[in-house]
């Protein structure tokens, strides 16, 4: 008989509590295979593609693009035995039935019974007969008995009420409200988009809806508060990468005492070396940017000042010094600021760094940076120079003790051997956590980075 299973939104092992449905890659009636990508979601850190844990036929999509779904809520129904003919009973989400079937819902990476490794929440080595999700207009399902035995009188089973996806406003805003509150608002003719929720996190409550019914009618202009009457303003929900970045910046700014120092450097020798290396056979086809030289300088300078590569552990009352460099590179993407990491950057040559930085930037611009690639960095560079900006006061990435801003490289007058000449000039700005890095240490590190960019040959002495 048909086997209907519902796939709940999984915890992708990054502390995920909710995610937004970006794009469905399947539709009802499509045949899917195990591990086939079925949907792309956006978490607080990145866009993630989810594979299907079963083979079968898609019977229903339970969430619309643009809808925010909590972890554990079913998002799709799959018929894993489309050749069966018997009528199904009401559905049960996979995660909810896992215990009854003798399987564990498990976290990603957890070993399951039978030796399998879980890749998604609710994905185990076996599962019982799942049930089909009833539609709003479906008649109550009847209990089905085994064919050999005399069939008893059918026992009616109440079909679960399926809440329709929240309507999306023209600006993409989806009001936060529980299904019973949405139903009440629909019955009373109240538009949830014009209400301000009084519940935790701005959730609209039953009282908010009832108050709106008893309140005098608002002007028509106020009814479209999410879009200005003259279309001169628009509201965009704070979610995903933007929400996570905002929280991280606030946490960092009000936790770590920031100090920022500046240095102006003549990088003419570095630019001359770059021009020579670009014509060298071993660098043919390599995108060798000033950022690659800066990254190498940061790595070398951190050897002499390991404090900038350390972490303040308040819980353990310790400073953690790290004998490796996971170099973060701040990147602007259509979804917001992300900081992917170059792992073990201290083990890379200049050429390897250049290649890694180019690949990292390409993946970030495509919005394909995985959550794992943005975690556990040790020090960060933000290249504001690509925007034509000279310098800034960068905010530390949470958990790190230093961040360097690389400014634009410009032709400027510079005194060389008592004479004014046109040189390639760049400004550097270093922000550091004064709990971990003293002023002398921060100044030494910044001076070392500047010296390596001003005279790359100094690297021979490190």
Query: Looking at the annotation, which residues are catalytic?
Result: 434
Number of Cβ atoms within 10 Å of the Cβ of 96: 16
CB of 204 within 8 A of CB of 181? yes
CB of 413 within 8 A of CB of 420? yes
Number of Cβ atoms within 10 Å of the Cβ of 196: 10
Quote the CA–CA distance of 174 and 8 in Å, as a whole number: 21
User: Residue 339 has which token pair?
Assistant: 């900081």
CB of 292 within 8 A of CB of 353? yes
The 10 Å CB-count burial string (b at 16+, else e) for 239-277 is bbbeebbeebeeebeeebebbbeebebbbbbbbebbeeb
Quote the CA–CA distance of 61 and 460 in Å, as a whole number: 61
* CA–CA–CA angle 386, 389, 390 (5° rounding): 115
Quote the CA–CA distance of 247 and 345 in Å, as a whole number: 27
User: Residue 51 has which token pair?
Assistant: 């594979």
What sign does the CA torsion over 360, 364, 370, 376 have? positive
Quote the CA–CA distance of 342 and 364 in Å, as a whole number: 12
Residue 238, CA distances (Å) to 131, 195, 235 in order: 36, 17, 9
Cβ contacts of 90 within 8 Å, gap of 6 or more: 131, 132, 133, 134, 141, 157, 158, 159, 160
């Amino acid at each position: 008989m048909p086997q209907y299973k519902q796939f709940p939104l999984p915890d992708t092992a990054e502390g995920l509590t909710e995610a937004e449905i970006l794009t469905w890659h399947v539709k009802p009636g499509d045949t899917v295979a195990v591990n086939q990508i079925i949907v792309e979601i956006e978490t607080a850190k990145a866009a993630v593609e989810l594979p299907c844990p079963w083979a079968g036929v898609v019977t229903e999509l339970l969430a619309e693009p643009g809808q925010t779904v909590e972890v554990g809520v079913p998002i799709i129904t799959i018929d894993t035995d489309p050749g069966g003919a018997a009528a199904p009973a009401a559905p049960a989400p996979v995660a909810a039935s896992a215990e009854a079937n003798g399987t564990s819902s498990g976290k990603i990476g957890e070993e399951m019974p039978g030796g399998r490794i879980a890749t998604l929440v609710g994905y185990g080595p076996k599962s019982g007969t799942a049930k089909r999700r009833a539609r709003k207009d479906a008649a109550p399902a009847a209990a089905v008995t085994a064919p050999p035995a005399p069939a008893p009188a059918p026992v009616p089973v109440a079909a679960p009420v399926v809440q329709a996806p929240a309507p999306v406003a023209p600006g993409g805003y989806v009001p936060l409200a529980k299904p019973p509150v949405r139903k009440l608002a629909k019955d009373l003719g109240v538009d949830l988009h014009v209400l301000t929720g009084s519940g935790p996190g701005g959730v609209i409550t039953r009282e908010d809806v009832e108050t709106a019914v008893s309140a005098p009618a608002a002007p028509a202009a106020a009814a479209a508060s999410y879009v200005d009457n003259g279309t001169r303003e628009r509201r965009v929900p704070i979610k995903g990468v933007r929400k996570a970045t905002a929280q991280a910046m606030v946490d960092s700014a009000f936790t770590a005492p920031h100090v920022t120092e500046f240095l102006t450097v003549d990088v003419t020798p570095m630019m001359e070396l770059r021009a020579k290396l670009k014509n060298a056979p071993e660098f043919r086809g390599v995108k060798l940017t000033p950022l690659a030289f800066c990254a190498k300088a940061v790595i070398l300078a951190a050897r002499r000042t390991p404090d900038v590569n350390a972490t303040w552990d308040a819980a353990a009352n310790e400073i953690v010094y790290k004998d490796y460099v996971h170099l973060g590179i701040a990147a602007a993407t259509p979804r917001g600021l992300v900081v992917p990491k170059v792992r073990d950057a201290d083990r890379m040559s200049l050429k390897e760094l250049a290649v890694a930085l180019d690949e990292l930037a390409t993946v970030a611009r495509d919005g394909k940076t995985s959550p794992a690639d943005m975690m556990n960095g040790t020090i960060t560079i933000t290249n504001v120079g690509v925007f034509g900006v000279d310098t800034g006061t960068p905010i530390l990435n949470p958990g790190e003790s230093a961040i360097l801003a690389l400014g634009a490289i410009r032709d400027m007058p510079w005194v060389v051997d008592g004479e004014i000449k046109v040189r390639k000039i760049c400004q550097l700005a270093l922000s550091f956590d004064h709990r971990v890095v003293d002023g002398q240490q921060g100044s030494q590190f910044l001076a070392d980075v500047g010296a390596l960019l001003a005279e790359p040959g100094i690297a021979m002495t490190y």
